[in-house]
């Protein structure tokens, strides 16, 4: 069984640029969530995708956007990069979307470390 994979592992961009991060979910998982983890902080929820539609969003501006593809892989796009966007971006997959108090364990990928100069 293949786990969650993310690419690239590291990325350096300059302020104002745009970036696309990619995630392949674990086999059999149809839900992907994205998190941003700044240095010394816990991960913060960006959004979740279930069956190619956004299924919940955290407190992030619209320049953070995403996609999910029919094979359940996902992209995170960030436009107009700011210095504070420098962080570890984590993708997590789960068997199905959670709601109403239920929970499915989320399995995390190794992350993409983004540095904005």
Partner 1 sequence: RKEVEQDPGPFNVPEGATVAFNCTYSNSASQSFFWYRQDCRKEPKLLMSVYSSGNEDGRFTAQLNRASQYISLLIRDSKLSDSATYLCVVPFNQGGKLIFGQGTELSVKP
User: Which tokens sit at 52?
Assistant: 């190619």
Write the interaction track for partner 1 spanning residues 29-58; mark x where CB under 8 A is met and - where it is not: --x-x-x----xxxxxx--x-x----xxxx
Q: Is 68 in the site for partner 1 (CB under 8 A)?
A: no
Q: Given candidates 78, 87, 98, 114, which one binds partner 1 under the rule CB under 8 A?
A: 98
Q: Is 86 in the site for partner 1 (CB under 8 A)?
A: no
Q: How far is CA 99 from CA 35, 53, 84, 94, 117, in A?
A: 18, 15, 31, 13, 38
Q: Is 93 in the site for partner 1 (CB under 8 A)?
A: no
Which CB sits closer to partner 1, 68 or 94?
94
Contact present, 92 and 108 (Cβ < 8 Å): yes
CA 52 to chain centre: 14
Binding residues (CB under 8 A) for partner 1: these are 31, 33, 35, 40-45, 48, 50, 55-58, 90, 92, 94, 97-101, 103-106, 108-111
């Amino acid at each position: 069984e293949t786990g969650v994979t993310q690419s690239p592992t590291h990325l350096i961009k300059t302020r104002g640029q745009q970036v696309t991060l990619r995630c392949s979910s674990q086999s059999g998982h149809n839900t992907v969530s994205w998190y941003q983890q700044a240095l010394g902080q816990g991960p913060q929820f960006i959004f979740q995708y279930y069956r190619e539609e956004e299924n919940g969003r955290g407190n992030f501006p619209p320049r953070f956007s995403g996609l999910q593809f029919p094979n359940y892989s996902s992209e995170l796009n960030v436009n107009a990069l700011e210095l504070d966007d420098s962080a570890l971006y984590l993708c997590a997959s789960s068997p199905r979307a959670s709601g109403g108090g239920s929970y499915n364990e989320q399995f995390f990928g190794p992350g993409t470390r983004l540095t904005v100069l």
